[in-house]
Amino acid sequence: MDAKLQGYIDKLKALHFQEMYENDFFLTWEKTDDEIEAVFTVADALRHMRVNNISTKIFESGLGISLFRDNSTRTRFSFASACNLLGLEVQDLDEKKSQIAHGETVRETANMISFMADVIGIRDDMYIGKGNKYMHDVVNAVTEGNRDGVLEQKPTLVNLQCDIDHPTQCMADMLHIIHEFGGAENLKGKKIAMTWAYSPSYGKPLSVPQGVIGLMTRFGMDVVLAHPEGYDVMPEVEEVARKHAAKSGGSFTKVNSMAEAFRDADIVYPKSWAPFAAMEKRTNLYGEGDFDGIDKLEKELLAENAEHKDWCCTEELMKTTKDGKALYLHCLPADINDVSCKDGEVAASVFDRYRVPLYKQASFKPYIIAAMIFLAKVKDPAATLKKLEERGAARFFQ
């Protein structure tokens, strides 16, 4: 047995995560500390095995269904990679090509796509109060279908970003941080600045900053949420962050200064998002079919954004971080000054200096998603990892 893989297996055996079996992944704060650690451990184990040319296919057939109601590059391909890593093929559900346009219900769609599906990944992040609810509606439908004998199995649902949380992104971010700092035990007292940054676009989801404060506060870190006045996130997620910080011995604070947030920070995460109140208003306007109102709101928000162009991750700000060497994070794509836009979230020199670490940050996401699926489908993950190694099938025959 490979010593490193055995270490992952031993770690899994010490954790309590049995409720993840035949379950779904909606929000990180619905999972226990052991369940979160189990995802990280399995992700590392799967990556280690792939690097060492060991096949991790646990399926000989089956489908992973992806439904993206918003544009995606990294998450779309990460989901496909994760499914392939475990032996599943991927079929993307294009709602424009389905019967949804003809009034097909959520219950019917969910069952019709799931006859041989083992996992469904959904991104639905644009409308407050809608995305996470839709995911639950899908799970309720396939659970009912399995119970009634329509489906031979209940597909696992993985939240690929909703209106509340972006768990696959934030857990990939966290695993990147854990590796960069040499272990989760080294994160206590580290300061992370989750800050708003200027973007020339409007309506960016709240789920990344909310996911970050909802997850990073579990590790004893000093989490600072910074944004201009009025750019608040969901108050209930802030309350989650406060509770996690109190339990872990860390802290959660809010400031209205990017400079204050960056000062002595070990990690910075400058990212644009729309104000919670504005996103609620936008959702209501769409519900009412008030497209003139939506156009008006967009102009108002773009004008409001333009008042805060100084909220940019510059070299000067980076010098104020811990030893001037804070780890820079972004979920990508970033709005880069004089590259993707005239004024944006980050100076080109900063982004280019951290480009390789940013790509490494993104590389954890396929393994995080694969781990979520693995833990939901495999009754004894430690035993299965051992069997995969003993089977000794090469991923790539040369």
Residue extents of the structural domains in the chain: 3-165+365-391, 169-362
Kindly state the tokens that stand for 37. Answer: 């650690």
CB 155 within 8 A of CB 142: yes
Give the distance between the most distant pair of CA atoms in the chain: 64
Report the predicted TM-score, pTM, of the whole model to 2 decimal places. Answer: 0.97
CA nearest to 82, candidates 115, 47, 54: 47
Helices (H) and strands (E) in the chain, counts: 16, 9
CA nearest to 20, candidates 42, 5, 4: 42
Residues 6+ apart with CB under 8 A from 320: 259, 262, 263, 264
Q: Which CATH superfamily is domain 3-165+365-391 in?
A: Aspartate/ornithine carbamoyltransferase (3.40.50.1370)
Kindly state the tokens that stand for 48. Answer: 């280690």
Strand order in the sheet with 89-92: 89-92, 63-68, 117-124, 156-162
CA nearest to 207, candidates 174, 168, 246, 177: 168
Task: Tell the residue number behind the tokens 């690097």, with chain if given.
Answer: 51
Between CA 82 and CA 64 the distance in angstroms is 9
Q: What is the pLDDT of residue 102?
A: 59
Half-sphere exposure (Cβ direction) of 130: Cα atoms closer than 13 Å: 16
Sequence-ordered strand ranges (E) for the chain: 63-68, 89-92, 117-124, 156-162, 191-195, 222-226, 251-255, 267-270, 327-328
DSSP per-residue letters across 185-204? GG-TT-EEEEE----SS---
What residues in the chain have per-residue pLDDT under 70? 97-102
Q: What is the pLDDT of residue 104?
A: 81
DSSP per-residue letters across 220-281? T-EEEEE--TT----HHHHHHHHHHHHHHT-EEEEES-HHHHHTT-SEEEE-----HHHHHH
What is the average pLDDT score of the chain?
A: 96
CB 143 within 8 A of CB 159: no
Between CA 80 and CA 298 the distance in angstroms is 33
Please state which of the four CATH numbers 3.40.50.1370, 3.20.20.150, 2.60.40.10, 3.40.50.1820 is assigned to the domain occupying 169-362: 3.40.50.1370
Count other C-beta atoms under 10 Å from residue 127's C-beta.
20
Cis-peptide into 357, omega within 30 deg: no
Amino acid of residue 381: P
CB 170 within 8 A of CB 75: no
Kindly state the tokens that stand for 175. Answer: 């695993």
Task: Tell the residue number behind the tokens 């010490």, with chain if given.
Answer: 14
Which residues are bridge partners to 124 per DSSP? 162
Would 3-165+365-391 and 169-362 be classified into the same CATH topology? yes
Task: Tell the residue number behind the tokens 């990073």, with chain if given.
Answer: 216
